[in-house]
C-alpha cells in the first residue's frame, strides 16, 4: 500500500525506550520497522538519553528517545502496529513499569483528543515525565500550530526529575532515502 494524499496524512510523536539487551540497536530496529511500513514515514529522531528508571526502581537505566512520523494510519491502527513491533522485538509485559527490551508509546497524533479502551490521546502522563518531554522537545518544531511546543517547554520549566535524564548520544538512524543521497 502506498502513502495516501497529503491531505490525509498526519504527524504523530512516538516515545521509545529500552533497558534490556543492546538498547540502542533495539531502538534503531524499532525505528526501521516503523519506516518499513508503507503508511508510515519517520521524519525526525531526537537525541538518545540515558534515564533513571521510574516507578519500578530495581532495574537497569533506560535509553529513551522520540520520533516524529507522518502517517495515513488512524491513531489506533498506528498503536496496534507499534505493539506488534514491541512483540517482534521481544517485549514481555511481566512487571508494570518493569524492564523491557523496547517500549513504544503513542504520545500525540495531529492534535487529536481521544479516549478509547485501546488509546488515550494525548498520552495522559506525557507532561509529567522528563524522560518523555526532553526527547520530545528535540523534535517538536517551534510554532507547531496546536501549541504543543509551548506546552512541552512550560511543563519542562516546572518539572522535577530532569536530573534523571542525561544526554547519551546523537541518534545515528537515517532513512533509506537519506542514505541513498550520500
Q: Which of 23, 73, 103, 129 is catalytic?
A: 103
Cell of 166: 542525561
| Known catalytic residue at 103 | yes
Residue labelled with grid coordinates 504527524? 11
Cell of 97: 513499569
| Known catalytic residue at 22 | no
Q: Which of 105, 110, 112, 138 is catalytic?
A: 105
**Preceding peptide of 122 cis, ω within 30°:** yes
| Known catalytic residue at 100 | yes
Q: Which of 23, 73, 100, 129 is catalytic?
A: 100
Q: Which of 23, 73, 91, 129 is catalytic?
A: 91
| Known catalytic residue at 115 | no
Output DSSP code: residue 60.
Answer: P
Distance CA 12, CA 107 (A): 8
Give the active site residues: 91, 100, 103, 105
Amino acid at each position: 500500500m502506498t502513502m495516501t494524499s497529503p491531505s490525509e496524512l498526519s504527524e504523530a510523536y512516538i516515545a521509545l525506550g529500552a533497558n534490556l539487551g543492546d538498547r540502542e540497536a533495539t531502538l534503531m530496529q524499532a525505528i526501521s520497522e516503523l519506516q518499513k511500513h508503507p503508511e508510515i514515514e519517520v521524519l525526525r529522531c531526537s537525541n538518545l538519553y540515558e534515564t533513571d528508571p521510574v516507578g519500578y526502581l530495581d532495574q537497569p537505566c533506560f535509553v529513551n528517545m522520540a520520533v516524529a512520523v507522518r502517517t495515513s494510519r488512524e491513531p489506533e491502527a498506528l498503536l496496534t502496529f507499534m505493539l506488534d513491533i514491541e512483540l517482534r522485538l521481544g517485549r514481555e509485559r511481566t512487571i508494570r513499569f518493569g524492564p523491557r527490551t523496547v517500549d513504544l508509546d503513542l504520545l500525540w497524533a495531529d492534535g487529536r483528543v481521544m479516549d478509547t479502551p485501546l488509546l488515550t490521546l494525548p498520552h495522559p502522563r506525557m507532561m509529567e515525565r522528563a524522560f518523555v518531554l526532553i526527547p520530545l522537545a528535540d523534535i517538536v518544531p517551534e510554532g507547531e500550530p496546536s501549541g504543543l511546543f509551548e506546552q512541552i517547554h512550560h511543563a519542562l520549566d516546572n518539572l522535577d526529575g530532569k536530573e534523571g535524564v542525561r544526554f547519551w548520544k546523537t541518534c545515528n538512524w537515517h532513512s533509506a532515502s537519506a542514505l541513498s543521497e550520500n
